[in-house]
């Protein structure tokens, strides 16, 4: 159990609903979890509500979507009761988010450097020269070899891995306490993936940042994170230590693990996941650490 | 009957200053009934080889012999009866305004089959969809069902060789397992030859007996799946690729 002051984020009974022609669709159904200075993985298949959870924390769900929660506490402040104006101070500065595909998250008609400077200038009062120096430092911190050149380049001149590192640089420049990474590496090749992960890993360890790592890749999450929440149909079905993921108990988690082909254990046939309607109805497990 | 043989294949795009050599001097051989995997990172040229085989790239040199037929600049109708391809993204490879029935009957008609009606029912049955899916549009199908339709379309001309370009990378793991099982079953039932491209070594290891590792347009190593599992690699790049695919290692932060 974490002490109250070690908890960076505490979410209680979070719902995300979308009204449709056929009634209200619940994307996230009453989940509770907390985050300390750790790497928390959220895994699940498409449609399990994992990305929606990440977005709901930052209150980025657009209308007509509805977010309700008993509380989303960032230290002692409840994000749910904040005004839009106060929220803008939180986004980026205290909690920031890295999206899946750098191609769609960077402005295509603005040089990379200016975008990073803009991100920083939003939150800090500093002279232009200082902002620029800070932006270059940040590019270096995410292992970009030639920061001066990248600074002047446009996003289309960058490779996928480079773009993702630029996104991370941009998100980290205000020194946030929490980083939400939504499938940050699924568009990247394995070797670039390792680089991006080690950058995030270092930041968690050096700065004491909290990381929410959303992914569909069970192997990756179990080797990268400290703790994992497994989501199914908008609920948390199981939570466990990441290195113990392969001993998970819930039939859904087991089913997912068994449906993965494994290099080390060849099999004739892969197990096919049989979905039990009872999983959908079962109460959410608490993800408090 | 021979499967497929490629020798000294070069593929390039553009010319002069802008020339990019996507595939450089690639040679490999796939026996009939075998399953061959091509792995590598994006831009390594693995998909380009499949596209060169099917005649989707304009500039290539070298020699390609497929099912006893030496390929010329233009593919014959006979070629497409023997070789079919399944693409990566089932959301993009099916016509959004054609029903499953239209997709399959058009293919069958173009290949000059008779008894189209009976064949469609059989094809849908073979890929595990059943006749109730026959008059649906792609948007009424899930990703896995769409990929099944794409596989049914590829099977329609009764090919000997299937080219699989990342057939499961757009799908969830549980759906991926279903499609991979289907492909294994089809291969046994129809004695198909597979050439499969993927960036996921575990998937290729599950499906293929021999695997070629590509880097920057060249094949750096061809090895058996047993050697791959035992990490018996002769090229450092293969080793690096295998290690990265086993998951994240904390030591990587030490650098």
The pLDDT tens digits of the residues spanning B96-134 come to 999 999 999 999 999 999 999 999 999 999 998 888 999
**How far, in Å, CA of B5 to CA of B9, rounded?**
10
On chain B, the residues whose CB falls within 8 A of the CB of A101 are none
**For the purposes of burial, counting CB atoms within 10 Å of the CB of A148, is it exposed (0-12), middle (13-18) or buried (19 or more)?**
exposed
Which pLDDT score is estimated for B252?
A: 45
Between positions 34 and 93 of A, the ones with CB within 8 A of B are 45-46
B177 and A270 within 8 Å at the Cβ level: the answer is: yes
Average pLDDT, chain A: 87
The pLDDT tens digits of the residues spanning B175-197 come to 899 999 999 999 999 999 999 99
Which pLDDT score is estimated for A4?
A: 55
- The whole-number average pLDDT for the span A209-235 is 91
- Does A201 contact chain B (CB < 8 Å)? yes
Q: Are A236 and A285 in contact (CB under 8 A)?
A: yes
The pLDDT tens digits of the residues spanning B144-168 come to 899 999 999 999 999 999 999 989 8
Band (pLDDT 50/70/90 cuts) for residue B255 is very low
- Residue B80: half-sphere exposure toward Cβ, Cα within 13 Å: 15
**How far, in Å, CA of B168 to CA of B151, rounded?**
12
For B4-96+146-247, CATH number? 3.40.50.300
The pLDDT tens digits of the residues spanning A65-89 come to 999 999 999 988 899 999 999 998 8
- The whole-number average pLDDT for the span A210-231 is 91
Which pLDDT score is estimated for A219?
A: 86
Total residue count of chain B as it appears in this document = 255
Which pLDDT score is estimated for B179?
A: 92
Which pLDDT score is estimated for B1?
A: 54
- The whole-number average pLDDT for the span A175-179 is 89
B77: distance to nearest CA of chain A, Å? 35
Residue A42, CA distances (Å) to A192, A217, A274 in order: 21, 10, 21
- The whole-number average pLDDT for the span A61-66 is 89
- Residue B89: half-sphere exposure toward Cβ, Cα within 13 Å: 3
Bridge partners for B117 per DSSP: none
Percent of chain A scored above 90 by pLDDT? 33
Chain centre distance of CA B86: 6
The larger pLDDT score, comparing residue A190 to residue A65, is at A65
Strands B210-215 and B218-224: antiparallel
Band (pLDDT 50/70/90 cuts) for residue A185 is confident
Q: Please, what's the b/e burial string for B14-23 (b: 16 or more CB within 10 A of its CB; e: otherwise)?
A: eeeeeeeebb
Bridge partners for A166 per DSSP: none
Which pLDDT score is estimated for B170?
A: 80
Question: Is the pLDDT at B214 greater than 90, yes or no?
Answer: yes
Which tokens belong to A5? 């002051």
A100: distance to nearest CA of chain B, Å? 14
Q: Which residues, at least 6 apart from A272, have a Cβ–Cβ distance to it below 8 Å?
A: A259, B174, B177, B178, B181
Which pLDDT score is estimated for A22?
A: 85
The pLDDT tens digits of the residues spanning A78-124 come to 999 999 999 988 888 899 998 877 778 889 999 999 998 888 887 77
Residue of A103, A190, A195 to mutate, interface with B, max B Cβ within 10 Å: A190
* Run of H or E including B149: helix B143-155
Which pLDDT score is estimated for B37?
A: 95
Token look-up 């109708």 returns B77
Average pLDDT, chain B: 89
- Does B246 contact chain A (CB < 8 Å)? yes
- Does A256 contact chain B (CB < 8 Å)? yes
A45 and B174 within 8 Å at the Cβ level: the answer is: yes
Chain B residue closest in CA terms to A161:
B42
**How far, in Å, CA of A219 to CA of A245, rounded?**
9
- The whole-number average pLDDT for the span A159-172 is 83
Question: Is the pLDDT at B9 greater than 90, yes or no?
Answer: yes
Q: Are B199 and B88 in contact (CB under 8 A)?
A: no
Band (pLDDT 50/70/90 cuts) for residue B251 is low
Torsion of CA B16, B22, B24, B30, to 10 degrees: -150
The larger pLDDT score, comparing residue B148 to residue B2, is at B148
Which of helix, strand or coil describes residue B193?
Answer: strand
- Does B252 contact chain A (CB < 8 Å)? yes
Band (pLDDT 50/70/90 cuts) for residue B38 is very high
**For the purposes of burial, counting CB atoms within 10 Å of the CB of A264, is it exposed (0-12), middle (13-18) or buried (19 or more)?**
exposed
Which pLDDT score is estimated for B34?
A: 93
Which pLDDT score is estimated for B12?
A: 92
What residue ranges do the domains of chain A occupy? 103-175
On chain A, the residues whose CB falls within 8 A of the CB of B177 are 259-261, 270-273
This prediction's pTM: 0.83
As for the ipTM of the complex, it is 0.77
Count of pairs with CB atoms under 8 A, one residue in A, one in B = 94
Which tokens belong to A183? 């499938």
Percent of chain B scored above 70 by pLDDT? 97
CA dihedral sign of residues B65, B67, B68, B71: negative
**How far, in Å, CA of B83 to CA of B75, rounded?**
11
Which pLDDT score is estimated for A202?
A: 85
Band (pLDDT 50/70/90 cuts) for residue B212 is very high
Question: Is the pLDDT at B169 greater than 70, yes or no?
Answer: yes
B31: distance to nearest CA of chain A, Å? 21
Q: Are B195 and B36 in contact (CB under 8 A)?
A: yes
């Amino acid at each position: 159990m974490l002490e109250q002051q070690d908890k960076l984020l505490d979410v209680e009974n979070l719902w995300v609903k979308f009204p449709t022609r056929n009634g209200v669709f619940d994307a996230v159904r009453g989940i509770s979890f907390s985050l300390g200075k750790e790497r928390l993985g959220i895994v699940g298949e498409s449609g399990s509500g994992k990305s929606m959870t990440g977005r709901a924390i930052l209150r980025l769900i657009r209308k007509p979507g509805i977010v309700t929660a008993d509380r989303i506490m960032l230290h002692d402040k409840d994000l749910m009761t904040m005004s839009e104006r106060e929220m803008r101070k939180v986004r980026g500065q205290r909690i920031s988010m890295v999206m899946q595909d750098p191609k769609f998250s960077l402005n295509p008609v603005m040089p990379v450097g200016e975008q990073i400077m803009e991100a920083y200038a939003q939150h800090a009062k500093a002279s232009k020269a200082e902002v620029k120096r800070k932006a270059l430092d940040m590019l270096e911190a995410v292992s970009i070899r030639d920061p001066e050149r990248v600074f002047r380049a446009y996003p289309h001149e960058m490779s996928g891995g480079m773009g993702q590192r630029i996104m991370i640089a941009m998100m980290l420049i205000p020194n946030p306490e929490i980083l939400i990474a939504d499938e940050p590496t699924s568009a990247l090749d394995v070797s670039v993936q390792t680089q991006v992960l080690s950058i995030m890993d270092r930041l968690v360890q050096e700065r004491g940042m909290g990381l929410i790592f959303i992914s569909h890749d069970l192997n990756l999450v179990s080797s990268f994170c400290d703790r994992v929440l497994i989501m199914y149909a908008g609920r948390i079905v199981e939570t466990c230590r990441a290195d113990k993921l392969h001993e998970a108990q819930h039939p859904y988690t087991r089913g997912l693990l068994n449906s993965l082909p494994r290099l080390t254990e060849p099999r004739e046939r892969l197990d096919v996941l049989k979905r039990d309607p009872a999983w959908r109805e079962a109460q959410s497990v608490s993800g408090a650490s | 009957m021979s499967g497929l043989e490629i020798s000294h294949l070069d593929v390039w795009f553009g010319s002069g200053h802008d020339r990019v050599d996507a595939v450089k001097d690639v040679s490999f051989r796939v026996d009939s009934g075998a399953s061959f995997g091509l792995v590598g990172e994006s831009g390594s040229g693995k998909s380009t080889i499949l596209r060169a085989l099917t005649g989707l790239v304009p500039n290539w040199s070298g020699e390609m012999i497929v099912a006893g037929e030496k390929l010329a600049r233009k593919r014959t109708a006979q070629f497409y009866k023997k070789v079919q391809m399944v693409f990566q993204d089932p959301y993009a490879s099916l016509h959004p305004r054609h029903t499953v029935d239209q997709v399959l009957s058009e293919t069958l008609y173009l290949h000059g089959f008779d008894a189209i009606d009976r064949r469609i029912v059989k094809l849908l049955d073979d890929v595990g969809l059943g006749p109730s899916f026959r008059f649906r549009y792609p948007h009424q199908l899930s990703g896995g069902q769409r990929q099944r339709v794409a596989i049914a379309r590829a099977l329609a001309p009764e090919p000997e060789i299937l080219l699989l370009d990342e057939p499961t990378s757009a799908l969830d793991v549980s759906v991926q397992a279903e499609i991979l099982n289907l492909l294994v079953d089809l291969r046994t039932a129809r004695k198909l030859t597979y050439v499969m491209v993927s960036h996921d070594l575990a998937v290729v290891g599950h499906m293929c007996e021999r695997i070629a590792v590509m880097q920057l347009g060249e094949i750096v190593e061809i090895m058996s799946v047993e050697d791959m599992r035992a990490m018996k690699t002769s090229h450092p790049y293969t080793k690096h690729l295998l290690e990265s695919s086993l998951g994240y290692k904390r030591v990587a932060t030490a650098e």
